[in-house]
Structures are given as C-alpha cells and as structure tokens.
C-alpha cells in the first residue's frame, strides 16, 4: 500500500511535467491579419458608405507585455458626399496602446488611434466644401475598463473631428457587454453618446446596437447587428439628401489568419 501511495503522486508529477514541456513557453508576440466585408459600414451608428457594402481588412500585433498595435482599412463615401470633398474614398486607421489585467475580473486598455483618409481634400479651396470643413483626418486618445463581461470606453479627439471645424475635444463614451451564448455565439449590446462641440447645428447624439456574432472556427466569424441613433437630420444629412443616422440591420463576415 505504501509503494502504491508513492507511485500515484510521482505519476501525476511526471504527467504535469510532460504537459508543460509539450505546451512550450508563451510566445513573445502574435501577428494576425484579417479580411472581411459588411453590408453597411457604420461608425458609432453613422453610415460611412451611404448604406452600401464595404470591403475591409487589417493587421494586429500583440506583445505578451501588453503592448499592441494595428491597422484597419475600408472604403468610405462620406468624405465626398458629406464633407463635399472631391478626393477621399477610403479610410486607413492606425492604432496602438497597452492593455493588462488588474485582477481576474478587471482589466484596462489605453491607447491612441488616428483615422486617415489618404489624399482627402476636405475643405480645400476649389472644392464644394471649401471653408465649411477642414481635413477629415482625426486622432483620438482612448481608455477603457472591463469588469467581467462589461466594458466602459472613453474616446477624446486631439484634433478636429472628421473635418468639422472647431471640433477639437470631441468625445465619445460607450458601454458594451459581451455574453457568451455557447456553441460559438456571442451577443453584444452597446450604447454610446457622441459630443461634437461648437457646431451651428445639433451634432450630439446617442447610438445603440445589438450584435449577434457566430464563430465558425478556423478564423471565420459572421455578425448580424441591429443599429439605431437619435442623430439630428439637420446635421447628419449628406449632399444627396441621405440621412446617415437611420436605423438598419447590418451583416458582416470576417476571416482572421
């Protein structure tokens, strides 16, 4: 009996050591790429492609220290159709930051993101929007706190916001949650509020969405979302008389590799 009692813990120790060796050390970093499409590209509830589809892609680098950086690209229409520019048909985002866990239930994320619209001439002399807008490029700093499935995030622009004149210090606050429904399904409710200061027309608004995501495995995910805003038509109607804040159902698919 004594021999058997000793053999059991020795066997468990050997199995644990073998598992540790097979798992290997934690990689220093990860680098992933993604491509996808959406039926209607929305940012904070506002249509970016005039209710048309968008092709999108990006890359993400994450270091085990918590540092991360990435990029995202998509076609857009609003720079021309809302800001009355003659150039600016796509968006390129660059971002970086640091995230870490405080406890097993609490984590934080801080960083900076810049939204670039290469070649855009929003507000330039000779365009229909001359004197009404500035450059569309925008930079924001952000910070978020996550408690279990809930995340509260705050963004603040350190430049004019999306070409709106005298809009430095625009803010966005949003609250979201992520509920694991099992079988690869996740449900994410969200509500946010955008402030854009010093505008002649009402620019502040609230948006809400409910997104159902399905992880099909092998890097493939699909999403279906319901979105709405209370944005004011007088501010958020483009040059083609399209109100960019109306509610919609949006479908998306993304492949990560």
pLDDT digits (tens, 9 = 90+) for 46-62: 999 999 999 999 999 99
| pLDDT range class, residue 5, cuts 50, 70, 90 | very low
18 occurs within a structural domain? no
**Looking at residue 8, what DSSP letter applies?**
H
Q: Report the domain count for the chain.
A: 1
> Is 21 a member of any domain?
no
Looking at the domain assignment, is residue 169 inside a domain?
yes
Residue in the block written with tokens 């492609």: 49
> Mind listing the pLDDT tens digit for each residue in 10-30?
343 344 444 444 556 789 999
pTM of structure: 0.89
Query: Is 20 part of a structural domain of the chain?
Result: no
Is position 220 within any domain? yes
Q: What is the pLDDT of residues 168-191, one digit of tens each?
A: 999 999 999 999 999 999 999 999
pLDDT of 67 > 70? The answer is yes
Q: What is the CATH number of the domain that holds 137?
A: 2.40.160.40
Asked if residue 71 is part of any domain, the answer here is: yes
Asked whether residue 187 is assigned to any structural domain, the reply reads yes
Nearest to 212 by CA among 245, 248, 184: 184
In the predicted model, is pLDDT for residue 236 greater than 70? Answer: yes
Q: Is the CB of residue 153 less than 8 Å from the CB of residue 177? A: no
Q: What is the pLDDT of residue 91?
A: 98
Task: Name the average pLDDT for the chain.
Answer: 92
Residue of 5 and 145 predicted with greater confidence = 145
Q: What local confidence, expressed as pLDDT, does residue 2 receive?
A: 37
Q: Is residue 14 part of a domain?
A: no
Work out the end-to-end distance of the chain between its first and last CA atoms, rounded to an integer number of angstroms: 53
Domain that residue 186 falls in: 29-256
């Amino acid at each position: 009996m004594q021999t058997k009692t000793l053999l059991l813990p020795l066997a468990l120790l050997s199995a644990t050591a073998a598992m540790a060796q097979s798992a290997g050390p934690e990689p220093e970093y990860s680098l992933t790429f993604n491509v996808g499409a959406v039926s209607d590209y929305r940012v904070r509830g506002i249509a970016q492609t005039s209710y048309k589809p968008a092709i999108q892609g990006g890359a993400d680098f994450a270091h085990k220290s918590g540092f991360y950086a990435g990029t995202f690209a998509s076609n857009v229409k609003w720079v021309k159709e809302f800001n009355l520019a003659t150039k600016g048909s796509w968006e390129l985002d660059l971002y970086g930051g640091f995230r870490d866990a405080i406890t097993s239930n609490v984590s934080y994320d801080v960083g900076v993101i810049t939204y670039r619209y290469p070649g855009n001439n929003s507000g330039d002399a000779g365009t229909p929007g001359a004197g009404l807008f500035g450059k569309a490029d925008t930079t924001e700093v952000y910070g978020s706190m996550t408690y279990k499935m809930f995340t509260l995030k705050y963004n603040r622009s350190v430049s004019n916001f999306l070409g709106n004149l005298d809009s430095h210090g625009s803010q966005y606050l949003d609250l979201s949650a992520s509920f694991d429904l099992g079988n690869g399904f996740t449900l994410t409710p969200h509500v946010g509020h955008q402030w854009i200061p010093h505008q002649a027309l009402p620019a502040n608004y609230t948006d809400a969405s409910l997104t159902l995501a399905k992880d099909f495995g092998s890097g493939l995910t699909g999403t279906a979302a319901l979105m709405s805003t209370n944005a004011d038509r007088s501010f958020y109607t483009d040059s083609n008389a399209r109100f960019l804040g109306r509610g919609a159902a949006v479908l998306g698919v993304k492949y990560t590799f």
